[in-house]
Structures are given as structure tokens and as C-alpha cells.
Structure 1
Amino acid sequence: MAKDVGEAPRTPPPPPPAAEEVFEDLLPLAERFVELLADTGVSHGLIGPREVDRLWERHVLNCAVVAEFIPEDAEVVDVGSGAGLPGFALAIARPDVTMHLVEPMARRTDWLSLAAEDLGLPHVHVHRGRAEEVDLQGDVVTARAVSKLSTLGRWMAPLARDGAVMLALKGASAEDELARDRQATMRAGWRDLEVVHAGVGLLDPVTTVIRGVRAPDRRPATGRRARRR
């Protein structure tokens, strides 16, 4: 992937021991993803330069460990993919899934498409548009650092099949956010909302996730299905 003129290459940190356990024989692919984030991800404004030294722990592994909550062979829709977090990290950790990256900004979708080609990930599909604009539905819907839960739940619901799982990656205040937004999120069509943790025994801090299940939609079916590009 070509980088912006005048941008010096950035040296990413080596993978920590947990990376080998998470990615196993696909660790070289995860290392390549980190290289892209540290180089063109920074020059394209998707990752801040100060984040380079903590790309593994704070970003890539923080996202990849959420794979433990994704069923086998699932179709996953990632809302507001940005720099491919959590989308690319999950797609590398779980090559059995089909990953749809949804992102409204052209600059970001261009980078995501080039990165998917560079990484050789045929099971990753990039869609430009807002969550409410794309014609997709999946078994799992993910998001990281996109919006507050009440808004996020509303955006994610149309992208989820009945019984699909919502995985919203959050920070230390997840419990407070869920308490505040639980009723609004339930009105958007989610049930069984809870805070769970991924990467226990591997990461410190662990990844905090608000998980929910899509309640059956009582409205007439629209025939929306995940559509590949």
C-alpha cells in the first residue's frame, strides 16, 4: 500500500507473547496488519502516531480476543470500521467467519479495501455507507468506539438477524453505560444485555464488551441479507 508523500515509515513494536496464543499460525498476518496500521494507518489519519507503540495490546489484541464470543462460520457486520478495528483483527483471528466492514468515509473505505487486498483476506468485504444505508444482516454485529450504547443499539439492530449477537467493545465505564442506556437499547430491539470480558488470563486489562441478543422482529420481513462485494 502506498503511503502519503513525505510520511516516514514507522516501526511497529514486536508482538507480545499473547499474540501467538491468539493468532497461532496466522501471527505473521497479524504482524502485517500491525505494520499497515503503523505506516499507512498513521499517514492516512486512521491511527494516531502516539498509538504505534501500543498497537498490539491496546488495539489489535484488545479486539481479536472478542473472537471467543463469535460462533463458528458466523457472518459478522462491523459498524464504523475505521482502521479495521475490530473487523480485521477478528477476521485474522477467525478465518472461518465472513466479515463485512461498514464505514461511511471514503478515505477510510479506500484504505480498508487496499488493506484487505494486501492481507489477502477474501472473506472480508468493505461497504461504504452509514449503518442505516447498507443492505446487510449478520449473525453478529460489532462496533468499537463508535457511539454511546443507546445510539449504537439503534444503528446495529437493522443489521442483525433475529437471535444475532451484539458485541459492543467498551471501556471501564461499560457497567455505568449499560445501566444508563439499557431501556433505550431494549426498545431498539435488544435483550439479555450484559457486560462480559474477553481475554481473561491473556490481557491486562481485559477487553470489556456489552453483549446482547437481537429480539425477534415483529415487523413484516424485508428480505435483508448480508450481501458480498
Structure 2
Amino acid sequence: MSGKMVGKAKDRGCDRENALQLAPALRPYLREFEIYEALLRKWQKSINLVAESTLDELWTRHFADSAQIREFFPGIEHWIDLGSGAGFPGMVLAICLKGHANAKVHLIESDQRKAAFLRAVSRETGAAAEIHIGRIENELPNIADPVTGVTARALAPMPQLIDWSRELLLKNVKGVFLKGEDWATELTGSSAADSFQIWTLQSRTHSSGRIIALARDFGA
């Protein structure tokens, strides 16, 4: 093995260990996340699932970043993930909920190729996932299962996320959205505070990122 390959393998090993420190919820499912990683690297060659620049930090940038939601909200076991893409955070949550009775994550994705990838990951890992192919506004009303959390990452500004999720949020489903460094500006441009309680949680994986949580009543 060349020095370059050895270096890459070492970097990936460090990335995985860092991710496990940041999000211990990953630990019981190492085999499943190794399968997920292998599938993502294989499909990435033909589908742009994640930014190429993040591949060497896949475990931290994507797996741990998503799994921290499970750490912060362990009581939520029924999720809807809007615009799932490569499965972050929805598929990560679905793997972490594997084996929990009746737990399920509904992943909505309009891109047929990405949906096919998500189905492959779900099948190979046994994740507690159901994949819905279509636009959010069309698929969301068709999900009949009771849910307690709605989530999304790198999808749309907060006002749009709230607009899509409003009916769920008004039923006191909790909204949990991973946001980057513009999170404060997005909240300023939203009327969410008029209708919902809002929490902002420091991201474990991005110093400038936040997890924005909304609910009618966090005590309910």
C-alpha cells in the first residue's frame, strides 16, 4: 500500500474515532454505518450525494452531525425527514432507532436516484426507515403514521421549513433543524416566535452551527 493510501486510511480512522466521541449513539451500530459508508462511496461515483470535499470526514461531517439529534432528543422515535438527499439526518436516525419497537423514520426525497440509494441503505442496514419519492408538499399529507419529530438538514431557510412543517408543529410535533452559520439571520427573518417556543442548541460538529428546535410546548 502506498504512503498516500496509508495516510488516507489513517485519516479516515481518526475521523471515525472523532465521530464516535462526538456522537456515542453511533457506537452500537458500527457495522451498519460501515455498510452505509461503503454504499455511499460506491454510489457517489455516479450520483452527487455529498460534497467531495467532505468525503474524508464522512463520519464526523455527516454521521455524527446527524446522530447528535438522537443524543439531544432521545425520546423522539417517530420522525419525518424532509428532503433527505443522502440520508442526513433521516437515515442516520433510522439506523440508530433500529431494534426499537415501532420506531420509524419517514424519508421524503424527490430525486429518484437518491431515493434508490436510500432504499439500498435501508435494505442493507435494516434501518427503521420508509422512503417516500416525491415533493415534500405532495408526500407529507400522505403520511398517516403518528410522528413526534420533523427534521431537515441543508435543505431550505427556516421560513420555508416552518411553512412545510406548520401543520405538524401546530399538533406539537417537535421541529429539529440542523443549520449552519446563518442560523441567526434565518430566525430573524422568520415569524416562528409568534407561534412556537424555540431552542437553539450548539452543534457538536460545527462551532458556528446550531440545532434549531421548535414546538408549541416543549413540556408536552
Give the TM-score normalised by structure 1.
Answer: 0.76
Give the distance between the partners of 1:206 and 1:17, measured in 2 at CA: 18
Give the distance between the partners of 1:205 and 1:164, measured in 2 at CA: 27
Give the equivalent residue in structure 2 for 1:37. Answer: 40
**1 or 2, which has the higher strand percentage?**
1
> Per-residue CA shift, 1:110-164, capped at 9, x if unaligned?
111122112222x210001222112125210000011111011101223457111
205-214 vs 127-136, greater mean Cα deviation: 205-214
Give the TM-score normalised by structure 2.
Answer: 0.79
84-93 vs 65-74, greater mean Cα deviation: 65-74
Give the equivalent residue in structure 1 for 2:112. Answer: 106
1:1-229 matches, cutoff 5 A: 13-14=12-13, 15-19=16-20, 21-72=24-75, 74-95=77-98, 96=100, 97-121=103-127, 123-134=128-139, 135-136=142-143, 138-160=147-169, 162-181=171-190, 183=191, 185=192, 190-199=195-204, 203=205, 205=207, 208-214=210-216
Compared CA separation, residues 69 and 130, structure 1 to 2 (3 A): farther
Answer whether contact 1:144 1:170 (CA < 8 A) is retained: yes
Q: Runs of 5+ in structure 2 lacking a partner?
A: 1-7
> Per-residue CA shift, 1:93-120, capped at 9, x if unaligned?
2333311001112121111112211222
Over the matched positions of the two proteins, sequence identity in percent amounts to 26
Structure 1 residue 53: Cα displacement: 0.6
When the two chains are superposed, the root-mean-square deviation of aligned CA atoms in Å is: 2.5
Pairs aligned (count): 198
Structure 1 residue 57: Cα displacement: 1.3
Q: Runs of 5+ in structure 1 lacking a partner?
A: 1-9, 216-229
User: Which amino acid is the alignment partner of residue 199 of structure 2?
Assistant: E
Give the distance between the partners of 2:193 and 2:110, measured in 1 at CA: 26
2:12 counterpart SS class? coil
User: Which amino acid is the alignment partner of residue 59 of structure 2?
Assistant: W
> Per-residue CA shift, 1:160-182, capped at 9, x if unaligned?
5711100110012212221222x
Compared CA separation, residues 77 and 204, structure 1 to 2 (3 A): closer
